[in-house]
Amino acid sequence: MTTKGEAFAGLSVAITTPFKDGQIDYPTLRAQIDFQVAAGTKCLCPVGTTGESPTLSHEEHDSVIAEVVQMAAGRIKVMAGTGSNSTREALRLSKHAARASADAVLVVAPYYNKPSQEGFYQHFKALAEAIDIPICIYNIPGRTGKNIEPETIARMAELTNITMVKEATGSMDQASQIMALSNLTLLSGDDSLTLPLLAIGGRGVISVVGNIVPRDMIALLSAFEAGKMAEAQQWHRKLFPLCRDMLGLATNPIPIKAAMRLLKRDTGELRMPMTPLSPAEEARLRSTLAGYGLL
């Protein structure tokens, strides 16, 4: 069965928002986009979790989406982060992204206020009726405080332009249930679970580690697609220490920003309340990057 969001199968990268002296660093953002285009990445996901969207002003959020679309210039797809725990705010952001010519929107489950399953459904239905570009449901209960149940996701899948789900529950049973109940394109929301999710029918990943090694993640996806399971497993094992550290050393995007600073691709600057890695954590990250052959 062909999945609804097949155009977004493959590698999407949840890009960081570079800062310099507290302001958005647009020249570095452009360099990061060019880096992803050169690697063959399918899609960029600006202003999501990795893009520090919680600390961007509304103006900055809109500006980053518009700039990324403009800098991408049709060379790579753009799936903009437009979620909020206020339906009105998510509508405003999503409409703006559609007007700015984003190819799709990535919408996190409303967080903190913990709606009922009916509330989740009505939130996404309101968005689906307001815009005509594809919508990716982003389910990450570890951050939002509540799971969107597979049955609710299957209900949402009946809405024409809800075409994808970014699955970050860590539950293979949940992912399997979504695929049994719907024809949504399932994308991994955890780098280290990409291969297991592909094995049960997932079609790609929205990656953090892809900020630094997009070609290696593409190699894993391509090997799996070609039926070369041993090769895909080899890439999985190689990537695993990096994937583990990016989400395990500290909250995302603290480790990936530190890694990009060590690789001289970003200032590494974060916005409060995010704070840098401790010296011990940075030493461990440095050792992982060296072990991978990046330093």
Note if 138 is an active site residue.
Answer: yes
* pLDDT for the residue numbered 2: 76
* pLDDT for the residue numbered 1: 62
* pLDDT for the residue numbered 34: 98
Note if 166 is an active site residue.
Answer: yes
What are the C-alpha distances in Å from 133 to residues 41, 44, 125, 166, 167? 20, 15, 13, 16, 20
Q: What is the CATH number of the domain that holds 142?
A: 3.20.20.70
* pLDDT for the residue numbered 248: 94
DSSP string, the chain: ---TTGGG-EEEE-----EETTEE-HHHHHHHHHHHHHHT-SEE--SSTTTTGGGS-HHHHHHHHHHHHHHHTTSSEEEEE---SSHHHHHHHHHHHHHTT-SEEEEEPP-SS---HHHHHHHHHHHHHH--S-EEEEE-HHHHSS---HHHHHHHTTSTTEEEEEE-S--HHHHHHHHHH--PEEEESSGGGHHHHHHTT--EEEESGGGT-HHHHHHHHHHHHTT-HHHHHHHHHHHHHHHHHHHHSSSTTHHHHHHHHHTTSS-----TT--PPPHHHHHHHHHHHHHHT--
* pLDDT for the residue numbered 101: 98
Q: What is the mean pLDDT of each run of 10 residues along the chain (295 residues)?
A: 90 98 98 98 98 98 98 98 98 98 98 98 98 98 97 98 98 98 98 98 98 98 98 98 95 98 98 98 98 97
* pLDDT for the residue numbered 167: 98
- Position 184 in a domain: yes
- Position 239 in a domain: no
- Position 258 in a domain: no
- Position 156 in a domain: yes
What are the C-alpha distances in Å from 144 to residues 84, 110, 201, 219? 10, 7, 25, 32
* pLDDT for the residue numbered 156: 98
* pLDDT for the residue numbered 36: 98
- Position 49 in a domain: yes
Parent domain of 159: 6-224
Catalytic hit among 166, 238, 257, 292: 166
Of 209, 118, 127, 122, nearest in space to 163 by CA: 127
Catalytic hit among 77, 138, 146, 257: 138
- Position 127 in a domain: yes
- Position 22 in a domain: yes
Structural domains counted in the chain = 1
- Position 199 in a domain: yes
